[in-house]
Amino acid sequence: MLPPTLAGMRNLLLALGLSLAPVLAAEAQEPTEECRPLRERMLKGHLFQVPILQQGALITTHVGVRTGVARYDIPDVPVGDTRQRDTLLLGLQETLDVGLRLTDWLALTGFARGSTALGTTPPSLFVEGATLDLIGQAGLVLRLLRNEPSGTQLSLRAAVGHDRGKTLTVLPFARAIVNNPLLTVDSVLDGNFRESLLVPASETSAGGGAYLAQALGASFSLQASAAAEYAWQKREPFDVVAGARVEQDTYAVRVDLAAALTADLRPGLGIPIAVMGEYLFRTGRQTSVYNPDRTLHSSSLALGVYYSGRQHLQFGVGAATTLKSEPRRSQDSEGQMRESGEPTLSYAQLILRYIF
């Protein structure tokens, strides 16, 4: 039943031999500003969630905060000629990510992250100490394809990032004292041995990749990506003999292949809960000036549970673990470089993201 005004217009148009259908269709196809975030997050009736282990293909304006705790296990860390120690660090992480939609097909993105970790046992404090990392990244996302009937969106991303960190560790300081038995307390306090406690490190990276969002009906979706980046890493430990910091440069090529499957219970059961399972495989090559080259390989798993009752909001909790991470390199008492076992990184996050 049409309202009286539209009914009168229809009768008038019919009297003129015209149809009101094109007018109503044009009005239905014109999105309002209020439903724009809904249109950007939805394909084929499915509401997409942003994954933990990869970025997404959607073009949105958003602000997000992620707060998490982490556990970092490093087995068999070299501390002497033959002695090895298992270490455990616990940490906190805070991330702010933003997106600015410039057009229907282009957006600016970025994030800033601060994280800190501390050894939880005497051997962990002695060997690994404490770390502080600050990371920033900025980039662009370009939409190549959006097909509403098939529920498909394909985008490209490019980004540059920078990471600065410091490690406070007792082990190099203790070795410096042991290797100089004639030292006194005054010479230690007045000398450069205190520099051995702090090891600065930094990394600059640039990369990009292709990102797919595919709706499999209103309740299910697949998100996948293939990305690569090149990283310049620099570590500056203090050389007690030289009396200055030594730059250790490393170059790495990293390739990430990721996939995420989501099941949303809201369309079928009326329960506003979405569950997402994720997998990330990393490979690549790392080249160091002072150490042998190494092939990178790690696998990560993640599970997220999100509230899907509001199109403008992503709220949930997630947990992830990375298996077979990059081993830690450390010098033994003879100055020879040795590797630890394969570390395991596990973390949980509280995720809040608002889409405008």
Residue 181: predicted pLDDT:
62
Residues contacting 327, CB < 8 A, separation 6+: 339, 340, 341, 342, 343
Range of the domain at 132: 31-355
Could you give the CA distance from residue 117 to residue 89 in angstroms, rounded to a whole number?
A: 6
Token pair 């790690």 is found at: 298
User: Does residue 216 sit within a domain?
Assistant: yes
Residue 342 has what DSSP assignment? -
User: Does residue 283 sit within a domain?
Assistant: yes
The model carries a pTM of: 0.82
Instruction: Centre a 10 Å sphere on the Cβ of residue 189 and count the other Cβ atoms it contains.
Output: 9
Residue 274: predicted pLDDT:
98
User: Does residue 99 sit within a domain?
Assistant: yes
Residue 335: predicted pLDDT:
57
Residue 40: predicted pLDDT:
82
User: Does residue 230 sit within a domain?
Assistant: yes
Residue 12: predicted pLDDT:
40
265: left (phi over 0), alpha (psi -120 to 50) or beta: alpha
Could you tell me if 69 and 90 are in contact, meaning their C-beta atoms sit under 8 angstroms apart? yes
The CATH code of the domain that includes 340 is 2.40.128.130
23 φ, ψ (degrees, to nearest 5):
-65, -45
Query: Residue 69's closest CA among 353, 345, 356?
Result: 345
User: Does residue 311 sit within a domain?
Assistant: yes
Residue 292: predicted pLDDT:
79
Cα distances (angstroms) measured from residue 324 to each of 74, 88, 99, 301, 340:
10, 16, 32, 12, 11
Residue 8 has what DSSP assignment? H
Could you tell me if 353 and 50 are in contact, meaning their C-beta atoms sit under 8 angstroms apart? yes
Could you tell me if 89 and 126 are in contact, meaning their C-beta atoms sit under 8 angstroms apart? no
Secondary structure (DSSP) of 68-135: EEEEEEEEEEE-SSS-EEEEEEEEEEEEEEEEEE-SSSEEEEEEEEEEEEEE-SHHHHHHT-EEEEEE
Burial class (CB in 10 A: 0-12, 13-18, 19+), 76: middle
Could you give the CA distance from residue 138 to residue 226 in angstroms, rounded to a whole number?
A: 18
User: Does residue 24 sit within a domain?
Assistant: no
User: Does residue 57 sit within a domain?
Assistant: yes
Residue 332: predicted pLDDT:
57
Could you give the CA distance from residue 217 to residue 54 in angstroms, rounded to a whole number?
A: 22
Residue 6: predicted pLDDT:
39
Task: Report the number of distinct structural domains present in the chain.
Answer: 1
Residue 283: predicted pLDDT:
95
DSSP element (H, E) containing 7: helix 4-15
User: Does residue 5 sit within a domain?
Assistant: no
Could you give the CA distance from residue 114 to residue 94 in angstroms, rounded to a whole number?
A: 5
Query: Residue 61's closest CA among 310, 312, 351, 355?
Result: 355
Average pLDDT across each block of 10 residues of the chain; the chain has 356 residues. List them in order: 43 39 33 56 93 95 96 81 80 96 95 94 82 96 96 98 90 68 60 76 97 96 98 86 82 97 96 97 89 87 96 95 78 63 91 94
Instruction: Centre a 10 Å sphere on the Cβ of residue 68 and count the other Cβ atoms it contains.
Output: 21
